[in-house]
Amino acid sequence: MTDLTAFAHGLPKAELHLHLEGTLEPELKFALAARNGIPLTEKTVDEVKATYDFTDLTSFLAVYYPAMQVLQTADDFFDLAWAYLQRAHAQGVVHAEMFFDPQAHTSRGVPFADVVTGYRRAAVRAQDELGISAELILCFLRDFSAEYAMATLMEALAYKSWIVGVGLDSDERGNPPEKFAAVFARAKAEGFFLTMHCDIDQVGSIDNIRTVLTGIEVDRIDHGTNIVEDPALVALAIEKGIGFTTCPVSNSFVTEQMKSDEIVALLRQGARVMVNSDDPAYFGAYIGDNYVAFAEKAELSATDLVQLAINSFEASWLTAGRRAAYIARVEDFATAAGVPLPARA
């Protein structure tokens, strides 16, 4: 482990773009399949990994959704999230706001209650045993209807205190943000924070980013780095303090590059960008690995990594007091390692 690797992994950080269903490692997939009596086509870990041949978002999603059939009971959802939280802890995560896709399960007959209670149990255990504050973000699948999203939101209201915000994911093509304007307006009225995926290099990326910023008025944008194409929009995002939850290793799977130039451009302009892992079981990189891969590609300094970690808390949905306490931990960690703090800190 080089010094930068050790520093990147140890740095206290928040994970803000992580799909719990995207943490299903092949070994756990086999264990859950055996427990639930589900036959799988692939028989070995290598055979499963051989199917991870993604060229874009659509080809990734075509592998991602069928794998979820092994998730059946509340215990399965618990095991998935608990395995993730232990890995995240080992890579310096002290706060996690984690996406889950209830419709990927309710659409195949799994009760919403089983999904959310399993995940919640893992979040509570993470606080008790690992000292990680873990929250859930309910994502609507944008390739389903707005009516189904609204019904899911209504079902979620019974679990409001367990869910910090709502998001929008899945296939952006043909499913622009305005399709869900009423659902997000209702979610906001119910007190949820809002975020939406604006995936990389989509048809209409910049229009969708404009809609989420100025029409839906989200609190954060997931990915969203195509915004660099429109300097006026970047200025607006900076003025509003919008967080951009970038995922460099994921980018290199669903596009041709990490998009490191775009992420660095946003970082240097003072936008609230940070680095996350997206679907780490599929892209082979948890959050610390993402920090290292991005730092190597973009030749970042340790001080840049400190700025990314600070941004992760500034863009989080913690209270101001808890954000400040976590940022003080980041600064103490950097100072103890002899790393200069960023000018903006």
Q: Would you tell me which residues interact with ligand ADE (CB under 6 A)?
A: 19, 22, 57, 64, 169-170, 197, 199, 250, 278-279
Partner touching 76 among Zn ion, ligand ADE, none, CB below 5 to 8 Å by kind: none
Give the nearest distance from C-beta 293 to ligand ADE in angstroms: 16
Residues that bind Zn ion (CB under 5 A): 278
Q: Which is nearer to Zn ion, 64 or 333 (CB)?
A: 64
Give strand ranges (E) for 46-92. Answer: none
To which H or E segment does residue 135 belong? strand 133-141
Distances, alpha carbon 165 to alpha carbons 157, 188, 194, 318, 319, in Å: 11, 9, 6, 12, 14
Partner touching 105 among ligand ADE, Zn ion, none, CB below 5 to 8 Å by kind: none
Give the nearest distance from C-beta 31 to ligand ADE in angstroms: 22
Q: Which is nearer to ligand ADE, 22 or 177 (CB)?
A: 22
Q: Which is nearer to ligand ADE, 114 or 222 (CB)?
A: 222
Q: Which is nearer to Zn ion, 171 or 217 (CB)?
A: 171
Closest residue to ligand ADE in the complex (CB): 169
Partner touching 264 among Zn ion, ligand ADE, none, CB below 5 to 8 Å by kind: none
Partner touching 245 among ligand ADE, Zn ion, none, CB below 5 to 8 Å by kind: none
Give the nearest distance from C-beta 297 to ligand ADE in angstroms: 19
Torsion sign across C-alpha atoms 319, 325, 331, 337: negative
Sheet-wide strand order for 93-100? 13-15, 93-100, 133-141, 163-169, 193-198, 220-223, 243-246, 272-275
Q: Which is nearer to ligand ADE, 32 or 247 (CB)?
A: 247
CA 17, 152, 212: angle at the middle one, nearest 5? 50
Partner touching 199 among ligand ADE, Zn ion, none, CB below 5 to 8 Å by kind: ligand ADE
To which H or E segment does residue 328 belong? helix 320-336
Q: What is the DSSP letter of 217?
A: -
CA atoms within 13 A on the CB side of 21: 27
Please count the other Cβ atoms lying within 10 Å of the Cβ belonging to residue 324.
12
Give the nearest distance from C-beta 2 to ligand ADE in angstroms: 28
Give strand ranges (E) for 59-124. Answer: 93-100
Partner touching 22 among ligand ADE, Zn ion, none, CB below 5 to 8 Å by kind: ligand ADE
**Strand 220-223 and strand 243-246: pairing?**
parallel
Give the nearest distance from C-beta 213 to ligand ADE in angstroms: 18
